[in-house]
């Protein structure tokens, strides 16, 4: 079945550590996205990529980094510079030009 796979589903880290969240899709979509979800704030765009080896900052990119070396993969690194990293992170993909997003199941990051 085609879809988006995020891992890990739950992740704990200590303050000062970097952590990388994985996102893989087999939908052959060109565009991929990372959103952060906090209670009462909806979804906020962190980074997005419309094509391999290219990506753009979203609304809250500070403290995060991404790469897009393969069409299928769009990992997100939450760095120690992110002041409040505890959140639910959602990866999505879309067919270019449609805006219709397909989401993964999410990764919940907790900083201890």
Partner 1 sequence: AQSVTQPDIHITVSEGASLELRCNYSYGATPYLFWYVQSPGQGLQLLLKYFSGDTLVQGIKGFEAEFKRSQSSFNLRKPSVHWSDAAEYFCAVGVRGNEKLTFGTGTRLTIIP
| Residue ranges binding partner 1 (CB under 8 A) | 4, 6, 31, 33, 35, 40-45, 48, 50, 58, 90, 92, 94, 96-97, 99-106, 108
Least distance CB 48 / partner 1 (angstroms): 6
Q: In this structure, is the dihedral angle defined by the CA atoms of residues 1, 56, 89 and 81, taken in order, positive or negative? A: positive
User: Please, which residue, 7 or 17, has the CB nearer to partner 1?
Assistant: 7
Least distance CB 67 / partner 1 (angstroms): 18
Rounded distance between C-alpha atoms, residue 112 and residue 29, angstroms: 35
User: Please, which residue, 16 or 99, has the CB nearer to partner 1?
Assistant: 99
Is omega for the bond preceding 103 within 30 degrees of 0, making it cis?
Answer: no
User: Please, which residue, 81 or 96, has the CB nearer to partner 1?
Assistant: 96
Q: How far is residue 67 CA from its own chain's centroid?
A: 10
Least distance CB 105 / partner 1 (angstroms): 5
Rounded distance between C-alpha atoms, residue 40 and residue 9, angstroms: 21
């Amino acid at each position: 079945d085609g879809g988006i796979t995020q891992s890990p589903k739950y992740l704990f880290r200590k303050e000062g550590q970097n952590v990388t969240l994985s996102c893989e899709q087999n939908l052959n979509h060109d565009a991929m996205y990372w959103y952060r979800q906090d209670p009462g704030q909806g979804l906020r765009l962190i980074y997005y990529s419309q094509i391999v080896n290219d990506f753009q900052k979203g609304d809250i990119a500070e403290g995060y980094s991404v790469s897009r070396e393969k069409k299928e993969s769009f990992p997100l690194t939450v760095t120690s510079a992110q002041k409040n990293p505890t959140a639910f992170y959602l990866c999505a993909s879309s067919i270019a030009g449609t805006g219709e997003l397909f989401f993964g199941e999410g990764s919940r990051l907790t900083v201890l």
